[in-house]
Structure 1
Amino acid sequence: MPPITRRHFVIASAAALLGACTSDDRDAPMGPDDGDPPLSDARFSHGVASGDPLADGVVLWTRAVPVSATDTMARVRYELAADPAFVELVGSGLVQTDAMRDWTIKIDLSGLQPDRAYYYRFRSASEMSPTGRTRTAPLGATPRLRLAFVTCSNYVAGYFHAYRRIAERRDLHAVVHLGDYIYENGADGPVRAHQPPRELLTLADYRERYAQYRADEDLQELHRQHPMIWVWDDHEVANNAWRAGAEAHDPAQEGDYATRRAAAMQAAFEWMPIRLPDAGDPARIWRGFTFGDLADLAMIDTRHYGRDQAAEPNGLFADALPVFTQSGDFADPARQLLGVPQQQWLVDRIGSGHARWQLIGNQVYFSPLKLLGSPRALGGGGLYLSNDKWDGYDPARSVLLQAMAARDNVVVLTGDAHEAYAFEITDDPNGPGYQPLTGDGAVGVEFVATSISSRGDPGQGTGITAIVERTQAQAEQLLRVSNPHLKYYQNTLNGYLLIDLSEARLQAEFWMVPQVGVRTDQQFLDRSYAVDAGRHRLQPTSTPSEPIADAPLPAP
């Protein structure tokens, strides 16, 4: 497939910015200035959002839809303040949008103070948006950092109240979304129905689906309260995607895949509060963030940028049991998951990062997961379970393992699985170089967040899924026989992952909601682990981390 070009992809992520946050406009009045063009009569039906926080800047987002169907443009004013009452106004300006951007607005502000809460809103001639709260990244010495990691929010599978529980946490620096923010399928689910009621193929389809998800009140509240750092997985385009196609895309029935992918990516950049990392390469989303001297975060793309098509399982019973060994195509060093440019960028970032902790936001689980484990020296390491994950691209994983082995405190944060895992990262979990009781021989740790809703509730599964659900109590023990580096496994619940960092240690907390088929305000801590700096051992903990005092949250 040829690369996506500007002909395929209109870069619509940045609305025309008519005013900027500068010292010259900090005393701007709350309405239009004399001589300013008038504001439009527009609605803010999809709330507000912010994202991609830097120490001196952040992206603000809204959607301003004209009240009149005949209007071809919407002009509104944004306002930024240091307090939720907007007494201490920091900046304001005019911005405009049109149907070419699906009426979305994004403003990339700069010149802000580090590690500070800011409040923002948008004003039209007839309406005021909700007040959003955002936060810039810290700079320099940073004693603590708290991040929530989320993934896999299938609208039809359940309600998004796990998002609401995160929104209620006042002390987060950011929410990191690891992908599958939307789902592209048209199927109804046990809880809600998708709009449009069909598989997404066109730009209009993807825009309508984003609009449906962003109308959800729990997701709106999450965006209103916290900045988001997001990267796509496969369902933002099509299931089990790779760089030139997708398992769920049939060109004979669904047309050119490059056109479909370009439409999906355009809608994503319109609707998500992120920067376009490279205007010359619209398919690139991988990028990095720094949180003072405490943490570097690399957000990578394991789906669309460099991934080769998954190799076919090579076991003796591949049709009935699709396991595989690290031989044949699976051992080909030329096969890529990240692609050479992204892989080199990540290796360089791991090696040169100055922060205490090196975090990697990743879509598919990095650690080996086996049905049958054996040392690599005895024939490749056993039978592996998923050719879609890093196990299916073992030589590419080995490159990153070498980079991890050269430094301490590397943490991989993963989505996609609809299950929760905690691993000690090692190339050969069944070999003599790794000691599962002490963590010696590990080169990092990995935490896999369960889904926001995609797992559904227990009892909804059919076939193999139903069998797995009935044996969940034994599943962790069974997996750990072949996977001694696996310290935690939960495959029935939805929720999110909370990471609390200090110079001395990291604490990872797996928070769950009891069900997603009906609305609930309940959540509970299912499991928690601590990792001491300089070690790669997962130690169970019994209590959640202490909250960090922070600025108040704005009222809904």
Structure 2
Amino acid sequence: MSKLNRRQFITRVSAAAGSTAMLTACGAPENENSVRISFDHGVASGDPLSDRVIIWTRITPQITGPGAPDEYDVVWQIAKDPNFNSVVYEDVFKTSADRDFTVKVDVKGLQPNNHYYYRFNIENTLSPVGRTRTLPLGDVDSAKLAVVSCSNFGHGYFHVYEELAKNDELLAIVHLGDYIYEYEVSKYSDPVLVGSSRAILPEGELLALDDYRQRYSLYRRDTALQNAHSQHPFICVWDDHELANDAWIEGAENHQPDEGDWEQRKQFAVQAYREWLPIRDYQDSANPAVTYRNFEIGNLADLIMLDTRIIGRDKAVDYLKEMIWQQIPFDVSQVPSGGAGIPLLDPQKLKDTNPATIQMITVPFDVTKNPPAPVLDWNTITKLDPKNLPAGQAFLPDAAAIKEKLLNDPNRNLLGDTQEAWLESTFKASKQNGKPWQILGQQILTGEVLIPEVRDILSEDAYLSKQIVDGIVTLGKLGLPFNTDAWDGYNAARQRHLQSIKANANNVVSLAGDTHNGWAFELVPDGEESSVAVEMATASVSSPGMENYLANTDPQKLSERLVQINEHLHYQNSHQRGWLEIKITPNHVVGQWFYIDTVKSKTYNIITGPSYQTDVNSHTLKKV
């Protein structure tokens, strides 16, 4: 990086001002000088290391089209004080329409564990001043991180960001994805808010590069988000909605064949993300989708950011398309002559029957009985319409077969082989370096989630239909997870992950977002009794949670039932938006949840949630 001296810097600014004067003399009204370039999207910083940090802004040119410059020289400064009396570096960054007029500088040569201030200047127009900080080196007594995810512009105000902007104790803000949402205006937003003060642009679904750029532009004009970015460095990784809902390596649930080529759409989404987020550009130039990386917090911890979304994820199990139903063996030897099939429920009878006359039949169950009883009458079975079963009857999933053939398929990946190997080596290096903590910044829940009986506490306006709720509850009763888009849907990969933690790490705290609700788990490998790590998950910034999908009259009761049915779950909040703060010390990590009483109005109150602590070498949680 070149460094301008004071005279060079003044010369650059003067030259830019002179260019503006020339443009004015060529016909532009004089009073347009001050608004020719503006900084409508504020400033931001991110990916701090002990000696460097990314600083970011975007210029908004008022002149476009014929006659507009092909590129702009934007002067940047970074200083030790907010008045810029102690400027450390200053230089020029060229931007253009090719990068959507964004400016992103990797400022190197900084001192560890220091606050810095930065700003940008073009044509005598100054940006807002941003504050950032570098990570510490050596022995560190404590570090505090804020954890956020799932900020849906059309579902509520970003009060969480506003609160974090006020918190001077934070080392950084860790954003675990769904920074934007890709849906069209009519899908997954609050129509009242959208119609009044949270209008969505563009109105359609994000498919092209300009679509993604416009949506980022909308979000980054939000004052609360600008305030958070201007006060703290962000460490970000995407989840699915920065691309499309339930994305995986070769597609997404929200990408249809008539919406173009998925690889092209993914390329557009990745490009816009890298333009608009203060994330360090990829080192592997052959694959700009690589975002997994590590941040060293002195000798205290490694913050290891993972991509559980598109770098190595296979397609999630789709129960609707891949469900394996329970079947009953029938002796059908008499059926050709007009007789009935005979159910073979006795193991000895099954063994003694000619295998050539045995047929496995998917039968419904009478779910009004406890336990549900199979319908075995041959005449009844043969006359049933599988799509219109009588009331009280349902097909039941074959839990054992689903676990064996789908969820535990060893060939299905979540992280991918390359990232798994990188994570294992990162764990080993962290452990060898004597760091007590390995903090995983990743998107989705690792802990198992079964849904309890909720039908007695549902309200009239539940988002999900009765049929879907019945299915979710049935899955829970059979010991099957409902969200196969989380680690629950990749259990073989999860077991490899947990065993790698057990073998290679010291103390892992896994962070998660995605669900829009707060959670705290101990992570226990299958077939073992002791936990190998803990997990803390944040509520969303504004996206609705279980209070929308499983609308209920008593959210506390729902949370209690979730904790009861899920053996290793210690805490759950099912109905509030908010954030998580984790304080890391050599001997323990404490997670503190905070909530916002409403994101539907501009006025709000803060609700302090519980705190849970994990002590070094315990891999367990306790409420404090």
Encode CA deviations 1:188-224: one digit per residue, 9 max, x unaligned: 4322231001111000100000000000000000100
**Counterpart-to-counterpart distance in 2, 1:37 and 1:130:** 19
1:444 aligns with 2:510: no
Compute the displacement of 1:351 (Å): 2.3
Encode CA deviations 1:294-326: one digit per residue, 9 max, x unaligned: 110111111111111112333649998989542
Encode CA deviations 1:307-358: one digit per residue, 9 max, x unaligned: 1111233364999898954221222111101110011111221222132210
Q: 1:135 to 1:21 in 2, by over 3 A?
A: farther
The residue number in structure 2 matching 1:419 is: 517
The one of 56, 61, 72 aligned to 2:56 = 61
**Counterpart-to-counterpart distance in 1, 2:305 and 2:57:** 23
**Counterpart-to-counterpart distance in 2, 1:249 and 1:118:** 42
**Counterpart-to-counterpart distance in 1, 2:621 and 2:304:** 22
The residue number in structure 2 matching 1:552 is: none
The one of 602, 607, 624 aligned to 1:519 = 602
The one of 282, 287, 297 aligned to 1:291 = 297
Residues 140 and 300 of structure 2 are in contact (CA less than 8 Å); yes or no, is this contact kept in structure 1?
Answer: yes
The one of 235, 255, 266 aligned to 2:271 = 266
Q: 1:457 to 1:347 in 2, by over 3 A?
A: closer
Q: 1:381 to 1:290 in 2, by over 3 A?
A: farther
Partner of 2:106, secondary structure, is strand
The residue number in structure 2 matching 1:6 is: none
Name the aligned partner's letter for residue 186 of structure 1.
Answer: E
1:281 aligns with 2:287: yes
The residue number in structure 1 matching 2:571 is: 488
The residue number in structure 2 matching 1:306 is: 312
Compute the displacement of 1:482 (Å): 2.4
User: Where do residues 177-196 of structure 1 align in structure 2 (5 Å cutoff)?
Assistant: 177-188=175-186, 189-190=189-190, 191=193, 192-196=198-202
User: Where do residues 79-478 of structure 1 align in structure 2 (5 Å cutoff)?
Assistant: 79-188=77-186, 189-190=189-190, 191=193, 192-251=198-257, 253-277=258-282, 278-313=284-319, 314=323, 316=325, 325-353=402-430, 354=433, 355-371=435-451, 382-406=479-503, 407-428=505-526, 433-434=528-529, 441-455=530-544, 461=548, 464-466=549-551, 469-478=552-561
Partner of 1:364, secondary structure, is coil
**Counterpart-to-counterpart distance in 2, 1:92 and 1:534:** 46
Q: 1:193 to 1:37 in 2, by over 3 A?
A: closer
Name the aligned partner's letter for residue 301 of structure 2.
Answer: A
Partner of 1:176, secondary structure, is strand
Partner of 1:382, secondary structure, is coil
Compute the displacement of 1:65 (Å): 2.4
Task: Structure 2: give runs of 5+ residues left out of the alignment.
Answer: 21-35, 327-363, 365-386, 388-393, 454-476
**Counterpart-to-counterpart distance in 1, 2:103 and 2:220:** 14
Q: Which has the higher contact order (CA 8 A, sep 6+)?
A: 1
**Counterpart-to-counterpart distance in 2, 1:507 and 1:328:** 39
The answer to which of 327-336 and 62-71 deviates more is 62-71
Partner of 1:199, secondary structure, is coil
Partner of 1:32, secondary structure, is helix
**Counterpart-to-counterpart distance in 1, 2:398 and 2:77:** 55
Compute the displacement of 1:524 (Å): 2.1
**Counterpart-to-counterpart distance in 1, 2:199 and 2:612:** 37
Residues 457 and 515 of structure 1 are in contact (CA less than 8 Å); yes or no, is this contact kept in structure 2?
Answer: no
Partner of 2:173, secondary structure, is strand
The residue number in structure 1 matching 2:391 is: none
The residue number in structure 2 matching 1:47 is: 42
Task: Structure 1: give runs of 5+ residues left out of the alignment.
Answer: 1-19, 374-379, 435-440, 542-556
Compute the displacement of 1:381 (Å): 9.2
Encode CA deviations 1:452-487: one digit per residue, 9 max, x unaligned: 0001796xx3xx532xx3242211221223212101
1:532 aligns with 2:530: no
Q: 1:343 to 1:516 in 2, by over 3 A?
A: same
**Counterpart-to-counterpart distance in 2, 1:498 and 1:362:** 15
1:501 aligns with 2:558: no
Q: 1:366 to 1:52 in 2, by over 3 A?
A: same
Name the aligned partner's letter for residue 489 of structure 2.
Answer: G
**Counterpart-to-counterpart distance in 1, 2:145 and 2:13:** 43
Compute the displacement of 1:35 (Å): 9.6
The answer to which of 414-423 and 319-328 deviates more is 319-328
TM-score (norm 2): 0.76
**Counterpart-to-counterpart distance in 1, 2:181 and 2:291:** 18
Residues 9 and 91 of structure 2 are in contact (CA less than 8 Å); yes or no, is this contact kept in structure 1?
Answer: no
Name the aligned partner's letter for residue 420 of structure 1.
Answer: G
**Counterpart-to-counterpart distance in 2, 1:34 and 1:414:** 45
Residues 362 and 412 of structure 1 are in contact (CA less than 8 Å); yes or no, is this contact kept in structure 2?
Answer: yes
**Counterpart-to-counterpart distance in 2, 1:298 and 1:154:** 25
Q: 1:408 to 1:307 in 2, by over 3 A?
A: same
**Counterpart-to-counterpart distance in 1, 2:294 and 2:42:** 27
**Counterpart-to-counterpart distance in 1, 2:80 and 2:398:** 55
**Counterpart-to-counterpart distance in 2, 1:222 and 1:410:** 27
**Counterpart-to-counterpart distance in 2, 1:84 and 1:96:** 24
Residues 130 and 230 of structure 2 are in contact (CA less than 8 Å); yes or no, is this contact kept in structure 1?
Answer: yes
Compute the displacement of 1:538 (Å): 1.2
The residue number in structure 1 matching 2:344 is: none
Partner of 2:207, secondary structure, is coil
Partner of 1:205, secondary structure, is helix
The residue number in structure 2 matching 1:31 is: 10
Name the aligned partner's letter for residue 32 of structure 1.
Answer: T
Residues 150 and 541 of structure 2 are in contact (CA less than 8 Å); yes or no, is this contact kept in structure 1?
Answer: yes
Compute the displacement of 1:533 (Å): 1.2
Residues 158 and 456 of structure 1 are in contact (CA less than 8 Å); yes or no, is this contact kept in structure 2?
Answer: no
Q: 1:475 to 1:34 in 2, by over 3 A?
A: closer
Compute the displacement of 1:287 (Å): 1.0
Residues 79 and 89 of structure 2 are in contact (CA less than 8 Å); yes or no, is this contact kept in structure 1?
Answer: yes
Partner of 2:584, secondary structure, is strand
**Counterpart-to-counterpart distance in 1, 2:398 and 2:514:** 19
Encode CA deviations 1:420-456: one digit per residue, 9 max, x unaligned: 100011124xx6x43xxxxxx1111001111000017
Partner of 2:228, secondary structure, is helix
Compute the displacement of 1:522 (Å): 2.4
The percentage of counterpart residues that share the same residue type is 40
The residue number in structure 1 matching 2:355 is: none
